Amino acid sequence: MADGRAIGVFDSGLGGLTVTKEIIKRLPKEDIVYFGDTGRVPYGTRSRETIRKYAAQDERFLLKHDVKLIVAACGTVSSVAADVSHNLPVPFFEMVTHAAAAAVNKTKNRKIGVIGTSATVMSASHKKEILKLMPDAEVTAVSCSLFVPMVEEGWFSPEDVVVKETVRRYLQPIIESGSDTLILGCTHYPVLEEAIRRTVGENVALINPGVAVAEAVAEYLEINGMSAESRASGSHVFFVSDKPYSFKTQASVLLGEEIDDRKVEQVDLSSL
């Protein structure tokens, strides 16, 4: 039986729009409610307790919109606070386990690189999941703290000298490790995919967690008869906790399509 309720997606800011992009591509008939906590971004430099508190509030906000499942489109939440979801009344999907599985399936030399925020890398969550699936894997993790502000400034062109040099410096340990697979462990990072690819080379497989999660969500909906099959295309609504400067430009880059500012609502989470 079809389920017309929306898919809920949240992130610490707008980076989760790259995951939303993949969900829309894979599941064009589904409605989506997106929440970006732009008033408190970034999560990656916060304490574990604060990240958990914020994640719980984000989830409660989406539940108020009667979503049928929730996607934590945030590498930091997925790494540090995924357990907050244990009491949710709806299915929950995070980034780490699906990205790890995709990387293990892709690697040939059992050497896997991970890049993410400082909180994500310090949690070692990707490494733990990879080693569960491939105990003899070699995992090299690097924190790339400047990638998020770079993307939000609109600096992502592979031709930009600042982008090229920053990416090269951060990814040098990945190159030296001989990793043949690299997990883009933050949802902003797919915007830098071309610059990253040029740096690590064509022989390194890049794992976009958004693609892996979109496939996992599609499979779950199909198996459980929860797909929205009665319409040609779904609607997409967007909420933020603070309207960031140049929102429209940032959102269009991350989502890959224009978002009308009039369709974005600012909300207050203080009561949640």
* Same domain, yes or no: 100 and 204: yes
* 102, 186, 195, 204: the active-site residue: 186
Residue 146 has pLDDT above 80, yes or no: yes
Mean pLDDT of 121-129: 96
Instruction: Label residue 201 by pLDDT band (50, 70, 90).
Output: very high
* Same domain, yes or no: 86 and 101: no
Instruction: Determine contact, residues 19/209, Cβ cutoff 8 Å.
Output: yes
Q: What is the CATH number of the domain that holds 173?
A: 3.40.50.1860
* Same domain, yes or no: 202 and 237: no
* Same domain, yes or no: 80 and 129: no
112 phi/psi in degrees, rounded to 5: -125, 130
Residue 37 CB partners (closer than 8 Å, separation 6+)? 10, 11, 12, 13, 43, 54, 58, 240, 241, 269
Domain boundary among 209, 233, 251: 209
| pLDDT of amino acid 220 | 97
Residue 72 has pLDDT above 70, yes or no: yes
Percentage of the chain surpassing pLDDT 90? 74
* DSSP state at residue 83: G
* Same domain, yes or no: 201 and 217: no
Instruction: Determine contact, residues 10/35, Cβ cutoff 8 Å.
Output: yes
Q: Structurally, how many domains does the chain consist of?
A: 2
CA pair distance 187, 225, nearest whole angstrom: 28
Domain boundary among 189, 209, 229: 209
* Same domain, yes or no: 113 and 84: no
Instruction: Label residue 151 by pLDDT band (50, 70, 90).
Output: confident
* Same domain, yes or no: 188 and 85: no
Residue 1 has pLDDT above 70, yes or no: no
Average pLDDT, the chain: 93
Strand partners, 101: none
Let me know if residue 271 belongs to a domain: no
* Same domain, yes or no: 17 and 83: yes
* 32, 72, 74, 216: the active-site residue: 74
For the chain, how are helix, strand and coil distributed in percent, rounded to 5?
A: 45, 15, 40
Let me know if residue 72 belongs to a domain: yes
Instruction: Label residue 2 by pLDDT band (50, 70, 90).
Output: confident
* Same domain, yes or no: 150 and 196: yes
pLDDT digits (tens, 9 = 90+) for 217-260: 999 999 999 999 767 788 999 999 987 667 777 888 888 888 87
Let me know if residue 147 belongs to a domain: yes
CA pair distance 9, 228, nearest whole angstrom: 16
| pLDDT of amino acid 17 | 94
- Rounded to two decimals, the pTM is 0.91
- Domain containing 184 equals 96-209
Coil, strand, or helix at residue 180? coil
Domain boundary among 188, 209, 230: 209
* Same domain, yes or no: 89 and 218: yes
33 phi/psi in degrees, rounded to 5: -110, 120
Percentage of the chain surpassing pLDDT 70? 97
* Same domain, yes or no: 77 and 101: no
* Same domain, yes or no: 100 and 183: yes
Coil, strand, or helix at residue 207? strand
The question of whether 144 is a catalytic residue gets the answer: no
111 phi/psi in degrees, rounded to 5: -115, 115
For the ranges 76-80, 151-155, 156-160, the lowest mean pLDDT is seen at 151-155
Mean pLDDT of 26-32: 95
How is residue 241 written in tokens? 């906790």
CA pair distance 26, 40, nearest whole angstrom: 29
